[in-house]
Amino acid sequence: MPINRATLIRISTIDRCLQNRYRRWTINDLIEACTDALAEFEGRANPVSRRTFQNDLALMRSDRLGYNAPIVVRDNKYYEYEDPDFTITHLPLNDEGLDALNSALDILRQLQCFPQLASSIETISKLNEQISRRTGVSVPAMDMEHVAGYRGERFIGMIYDAVRKHRTITIEYQSFKASRPDTLTVYPYLLKEYRNRWFLVGEKSTNRAPHVNIFALDRIHSVKFDHEHPFRKCAGFDPEHFFDDTIGVTRQIGDKPRHVVIDIDSTQAPYIESKPFHRSQKVEQRFDDGSIRISLKVVINSELVRLILGYGGHAEVIAPTELRVKVAESVIKAADRYRE
């Protein structure tokens, strides 16, 4: 059974519940607590199955992670620790447990900007201390990109709650072009991260037709819940699939993906095959010199143009014509800056 972040959140939730001796916990109570804990992280409720819960209990009771948790059932109904002082955070871990939890912790360390995970993070931090003492190593083995001091990070938790609970918010927002912030009433639909920046996809209350607005969190000055305007859904916006055919965050309802064809020279072809521009990428042709022709089915936007420009002379847009012209104009403008 793999020890992933969902498993770690569930067993830490079960441990936290069983430490509360002022309540009697049925299997349904514990499953509900685990479901709620995962929902706080995932943003949508996916009920934990009884089989998954039983597997978690078996893992905690076993020696696999070194817990040997004394979980007993009273009156054939209520779960509790036989030892009232027991907690998984006070135990030494075996080697397999150390290795499994270290891997999960490396991932979960990156998620501390979500206050909804605070209780799980606290338990996880205690486990991390044990790992550090046991191994004598406190340096993580994984480093995910993170922008230190990112100004929008402080709003992630509140906006996440607003999206998940369908609550209208009021924000003070100042775009790069504006001289001062505007106060806007917004219906929040989705939080999206792109290249270490977070964006709120929502709709201003003043929109007369279905239209989504993209707000960069680092341009938001304040956020508060709005109790005067009932939440309104946007017709045509599907948060699960809205960005499926988009690179970045710039697109509108009604934008259609286009068939994009790009030639990549031999020096960059291996890299672009190993890290595609987009999930729709296909290799349409391979040339004798090692270069390739790829196709994408994506919305044409500024992020696509910047991505292509990032490869400089190694990439050439073949179609559609409008994208080829946009990229060519940017290349000419850049070349002009270097001419004496």
Quote the pLDDT of residue 1.
46
Q: What is the pLDDT of residues 54-94, one digit of tens each?
A: 999 999 998 887 788 999 999 999 999 999 888 887 655 55
- Band (157; pLDDT cuts 50, 70, 90): confident
What is the pLDDT averaged over residues 295-321? 96
Residue 41, CA distances (Å) to 70, 111, 140, 329 in order: 28, 9, 22, 43
Q: What is the pLDDT of residues 87-113, one digit of tens each?
A: 887 655 555 555 665 655 555 555 555
What is the pLDDT averaged over residues 7-15? 89
Query: How many other CB atoms sit within 10 Å of the CB of residue 13?
Result: 22
More confident residue, 270 or 153: 270
What is the pLDDT averaged over residues 3-31? 88
Quote the pLDDT of residue 208.
85
- Band (210; pLDDT cuts 50, 70, 90): confident
Say if residues 168 and 186 touch (Cβ distance below 8 Å): yes
> Could you tell me which of 275, 293, 276 has the C-alpha nearest to residue 284?
293
Task: Tell me the two tokens of residue 72.
Answer: 């007993």
Quote the pLDDT of residue 184.
96
Q: What is the pLDDT of residues 212-231, one digit of tens each?
A: 999 999 999 999 999 999 99
Q: For the chain, how far is it from start to end, CA to CA, in angstroms?
A: 64
Residue 242, CA distances (Å) to 194, 253, 298 in order: 14, 8, 12
CA distance 304 to 269: 18
Quote the pLDDT of residue 92.
53
Quote the pLDDT of residue 243.
95
Task: State yes or no: pLDDT of 182 exceeds 90.
Answer: yes
pLDDT, mean over the chain: 85
- Band (36; pLDDT cuts 50, 70, 90): confident
Task: State yes or no: pLDDT of 127 exceeds 70.
Answer: no
Region of poorest pLDDT, from 81-85, 169-173, 289-293: 81-85
Provide Rg for the chain, Cα atoms.
Answer: 25
Domains with residue ranges and CATH for the chain: 5-135 (no CATH), 151-225 (2.30.30), 258-338 (3.30.70)
Report percent pLDDT > 90 for the chain: 58
Query: How many other CB atoms sit within 10 Å of the CB of residue 121?
Result: 19
What is the pLDDT averaged over residues 266-287? 95
Task: State yes or no: pLDDT of 179 exceeds 50.
Answer: yes
Task: State yes or no: pLDDT of 140 exceeds 90.
Answer: no
Region of poorest pLDDT, from 84-98, 111-125, 158-172, 230-244: 111-125
